Amino acid sequence: MSLLRVCALAKCASRRGLFHSGDVRVSPADRCWLFVSTRDGGIRRISETPLHLQRRKVSFMIPKRDDAKKRVVEQSQLLDVLKARIQQLQPDVVLDVHHANVQFVKAPSPGRGPKVAPKEKTDIPKSAKTLKAASKSKTSRWMEKLTREQKNKLTKVERLAQKIQKNVKEKPSAKSKGSQSSSALPGTSHKVVSNAAPLAKSRARTKLSDEIRAAVSFTEVAAAHAGSKGKPKASRKLGPAKEGKRQTEDRGGAEEIEKSRWTLSSNPQPPPPQKEEGEEEDGAAAACGDVQLSIRSYLEACVFAGDVERAHRFLLSQHRVRSRRKLLNTDVYNIMMRVWAKKGTLNQIGRIFILLEEAGLKPNLGSYCTALECMGRNPDCQPKLITRCLSQMEEDGLSVDDLLSRCVFRQDERDMVLKAVRGARPDYEPRLRAGAAQCPSLVQEFYAQRSDHRYPKLDFTREELRQRFALQLRLEQDCTVTIDSVEAAKPVTDYMAKMRKLLADHRAQWQKILLQALRESKRILANTNTKDYRLNLYPYLCVLEDGEYVDIMIQSVASLPPSGESLKILGRDLGHRVYTKYCVQQKQQNQVVEKLRNIYSAYTDLLAKDTKECVVLPSEYWAKLERDESSGPSLQGGETHWPYIVSVELGTYMVDLMVKNLKMNSDVLNPAFERKLIPILYHMYTFRNTRQVGFIKPHPILIQMQQDAMESKLTFDSYVMPMLCPPVPWTSVKFGAYLLTPTKLMRTVEGATQHEVLLEKCQNLLPVLDSLNQLGNCAWSINKPLLDIIISIFNDRGSDRLDIPPPLSEAPKIPHFNAQDPAYTSAEKAHMKRDVINAKKKCSEMHSLRMDALYKLSIANHVRDEIFWFPHNMDFRGRTYPCPPYFNHLGSDVTRALLVFAEGKPLGPKGLDWLKIHLVNLTGLKKRSSLEGRLQYANAIMEDVLDSADNPLNGNKWWMNADEPWQALGCCMEIANAVRSPDPTQFISNFPVHQDGSCNGLQHYAALGRDVIGATSVNLMPCEMPQDVYSGVAQQVEEFRLRDAQSGLKIAQVLEGFISRKVVKQTVMTVVYGVTRYGGRLQIEKRLKEIEDFPKNPNALYFQEHVWDASHYLVRMVFSSLKEMFTGTREIQDWLTDCARLISKSGHTVEWVTPLGLPVIQPYHRTRNQVLKSSIQLINLQITHDAKERPDTVKQKNAFPPNFIHSLDSTHMMLTALHCYSAGLTFVSVHDCFWTHALTVDTMNQICREQFVALHSQPILRELSEFLLQKYCTGLPAEAKNKKYQEYRRMMLLLAKVPQTGDFDLKRVKESTYFFS
């Protein structure tokens, strides 16, 4: 009967309808103990049960102060029922429940307890009488329902007990109780570990965990566990039928654990914060982010901070409960195995191997690596155990060579593994082979035949490059850099000096206050008795020194805009800064820096000018160097990205510390004010669109102090600055770009992981990585004469005409008025309110633009005498971007004008002509002229060009009328220097010359469809004069307008004379990238408002007269014109749209692979709201990339055509970059605008056209169709009448129906002068 009692109680405890999982704990042992936990003097309430719902419905009848007593009564009645059933099943103990405590009383005669009827009442303390008195006069149908519910539950219990008793009787009643000395391992609930007797059914081969256990004393294992997690509970092994049912829970309770949302608990019991609009209070909302990522990042933070005990307890608590154990993978267990391996404690390794077996997981390479490392550190380890470990690896299909080539090592781990392996196999030598990359057919010849390749060298010696490496390494180790502001050139007044000193004194005081507050909050978090299974912020607050957190917070205060910042964004940025610094320190702790220095020193042999040439690409050379210097830590990977929610919550915790603790005196600027301490930051709410958003806003006094001080220093994160040495080449998905700063290969939405998963599976990314390396290896310098002119205008009053933002002193004054003044009418008040809103908006915009320009100019001024590089990465479509966010060549006209190539090349015979043509292109004039016509125009205006170069601010200022004035001025200066040189052909030019695609998106569509008319319109077909598609569309729209005007349409008549190339250009350019009619109408509306002569209505508040109707009319005409001019384009666009619509409706996201082998997936899913319960407010995180949600059909179908075309134009750019590099050219790109020296423009043009033809000679649409069919149309339902079969069949037919192509000869592109010009 003992087994019967165990099973019955386990069944009862597992039924949540009766007890909260944390309230009733059943642990079968020699004696059956039933444990009921108490909280706040009463039993924890039963949650999410019908009884709970019924009780909540009648809660209004009972005073709030009696809630706890009421819960006691209700649960007492249920416990009475269970007590009766336990006694009926011959229990060892009976339960006696009182109001505030739980007692266990031995039964007088085991197995003979009196049977208690279900309706029998139990003596209830005073609380029950209170309940009875409170509800006696209000007995209603709700209480009757409660009674019926209790009866129903009792019936279920009786049936369950009978069923269990019947099942037990059918099985053997006798069971071996095992050795009394055997005890369960930590975290195990149903596994017997005994040294006394073998298992009845042993496996054919001994497990590695058994070997490890045999190598150490089992009592040592048990003692170690007892020291780390208290006394382990003995348990018996249940039969197979019961083992799957059994679930052991820790003290937190399974119900609460299973509902854990994997969010960090930064405040054990925070006051109820104010909610933002749109937030959900549902506790069952899906967790944000990946659970495994949360667990791994938490464990690694604990280990890095030295809190191994916390990490150990957390892993065991996750392992104990089956529902959470399913969320673990082998890599999670490996984190703790790595810790024990460092300590050389083999017994702990054995314990975790046992936990892996219990979890149904197989050890992977990382598991065996830690075991071998531990054996290597243990001098007493016997070779027999090592041999057994190696044999187990081989049985699992793993080899030592795989382990050494694929595992990520830290410090001396690899050396210890080799030591262990050679202890069993003395002659072993690792055979590390470079992985054979499978290159796509497009670039197979490029990688196979390199006899004619001439890779460029940098204009630096090896020693110079090594010195630059040392500077960059020091910069990244500091994580921040402080530079002079360009505003520092202004004379410092006494008042400015006073304000600067005042700010410095306050910041020193704030640092002390924040340091003390942070330490106190950490002490509270560390001592808070939180559950082991809960993720806590404490480890993340320990990965850095306290002073480093304070520095990050002080820096954020200094950079906070006057209008404030969203709490979500501010918290994310703070968390990201902590993570970046944490990753850098991780690499330093793992001894990566010294190995990186050695490899980079050898890598300079490939780049330096004083070394011999070799036909090897940077990624290949770096990979070879890594293989040659294989000892020591791994350089690649190893870091676990923090989930987005972790970064946000850590950041908001830091924001909360600042808001609560940073204060200053109210009379700091005006002694007449009453002195009192006021916070310098305010937490407030504002509306964005219709959503209420939490904001952190600085106090006006602080804003005034900062503006008056005009501080001369700016502090940036190190990754904001350009690199001072050539970037580390991308050799894998996880390694490249900066030396120490973590950088993603692919830019994604915060928290999205599906792209990274695809990339890690991909084996043929070498061409993509090499193209990124080529772009990053381009060295840059500053155009100093131009920089000085721009800074002088910036420090004067700016210039809207020249795109130099004016200072805030030029901002409009915000009007003030009394809204209660009866002298104003309601219309006047509304008008004044609108003026106030517009003035505030204008001030905010001016501040943003001013600070953006200040950052860019200050960074440029900081590196004015340096040579620097921009490391590159890409977005999910393959489009490339420089990593530094502020200052790069993808910026505005101002930043582009400041950048020139560090390496100069002679102009050669045609270089000067290309400079002149480039100048005319920058003016925006002569777009319909031939190259000869543009050159003639440039020669005709040479006087203005030279005047602009000599007197940019005091001459006739011809350059200011150009479309890109600052680049035009820089080109004027370069031309002037060239023509005045003794021999212009030998003039060394650093100036980049651009060749821009002619509406590149339409070019790709026309090439895909072989559309002759479309190809001619976008210059794929050779023509004597360039074809301007924008002018062509404008002409077509004018014909439509003329027809409608003759028919009497008023708006067509109003538009006479106003349809121009400029009005339709943006819409034509973006329609190929998926702009909708709504977006196109807004674009055209903006262009019409810029026309001064367009009909105006003086009474209109928002719109000029006819603008609304005209924009609606014109967007229809533009779309109609494009449909007539590009029939093939529209067919392909519609086919792509329909494919994406059916794919997403079937529940899948759209995926494809670019011709260069880059996998692309659209991360558009239905929005899921995740509420982050931070200590300062509830934050609503809108998750649109959760792969568990269904795809967003609208976004998927609208985005597929433009994203697919973007992936093609990025492929074309990468092909051009690779072949330019092999030809020895300097090449960079701004998407479809290619840059090179004036000397090599002709060579780049030839390569550009050849690679476009090579790209579109591939059957791109057919291969896309085959990929989609294989991906989404396999395993169709067998029944033809099945609705799902019909949907799949319709999708299959659509995917297979590739649009037909025209007769355009693609090779004609090679002869087209104006394809890129």
Q: How many Å apart are CA 987 and CA 120, to the nearest integer?
A: 107
* Torsion from C-alpha of 1047, 1052, 1057, 1061, nearest 10 degrees: -120
- What is the rounded distance in angstroms from the CA atom of residue 48 to the CA atom of residue 36? 18
Neighbouring residues of 1124: CB distance < 8 A, sequence distance ≥ 6: 1036
Q: Return the SS3 of 803.
A: coil
Of the residues 67, 996, 1044, 1109, only one is catalytic, namely 996
Query: At how many degrees (to 10) do helices 644-661 and 494-527 cross?
Result: 120
Look at residues 891, 887, 555 and name the one whose alpha carbon lies nearest to residue 713.
555
CB 1124 within 8 A of CB 1035: no
Helix (H) or strand (E) segment spanning residue 74:
helix 67-88
CB distance 49 to 16 below 8 Å: yes
The reply to whether 401 belongs to the active site is no
How far apart CA 567 and CA 1179 sit, in angstroms, is 8
| Listed residue (751, 745, 759) closest to 1154, CA to CA | 759
Cβ–Cβ < 8 Å for 593, 583: no
Query: What residue type is 179 in one-letter code?
Result: S
Beta-bridge partners for 494: none
| Close Cβ partners of 463 (under 8 Å, ≥ 6 residues apart) | none
DSSP 674: P
Which uninterrupted H or E stretch holds 781? strand 779-782
Residue type, 874: M
**Cβ burial, residue 944 (10 Å; 0-12/13-18/19+):** middle
**DSSP class of 671:** T
Which is catalytic among the residues 1065, 1192, 1197, 1209? 1065
State how far the Cα of 315 lies from the Cα of 296, in Å rounded to an integer: 10
- Contact by Cβ (8 Å): 1254, 1268: no
Q: How many separate helices (H) and strands (E) can be counted in the chain?
A: 48, 30
Hey, how many other C-beta atoms are within 10 angstroms of the C-beta on 734? 19
* The residue type at 201: K
Distance between CA 237 and CA 241 in Å, rounded?
A: 11
Q: What is the CA radius of gyration of the chain?
A: 37
Q: Could you give the CA distance from residue 662 to residue 557 in angstroms, rounded to a whole number? A: 10
Query: What span, in angstroms and rounded, lies between the C-alpha atoms of 723 and 738?
Result: 8
Catalytic residue check, 996: yes
End-to-end CA distance of the chain: give it in Å, rounded: 91
Q: How many CB atoms lie within 10 A of CB 946?
A: 18
Token readout for 1273 is: 């149309």
The torsion angles phi and psi of 639, rounded to 5 degrees, stand at -85, 140
Given a contact cutoff of 8 angstroms between Cβ atoms, the answer to whether 985 and 1278 are in contact is no
CA distance 76 to 710: 70
Active site residue 852: no
CA distance 1260 to 680: 59
How many C-beta neighbours within 10 Å does residue 266 have? Answer: 22
Residue 186 makes CB contacts below 8 A (sequence gap 6+) with: 225, 228, 229, 232, 316, 351
Residues 1181, 1169 contacting (CB under 8 angstroms): yes
Torsion 1145-1147-1150-1152 (CA) sign: negative
Catalytic residues, which ones? Answer: 996, 1065, 1232
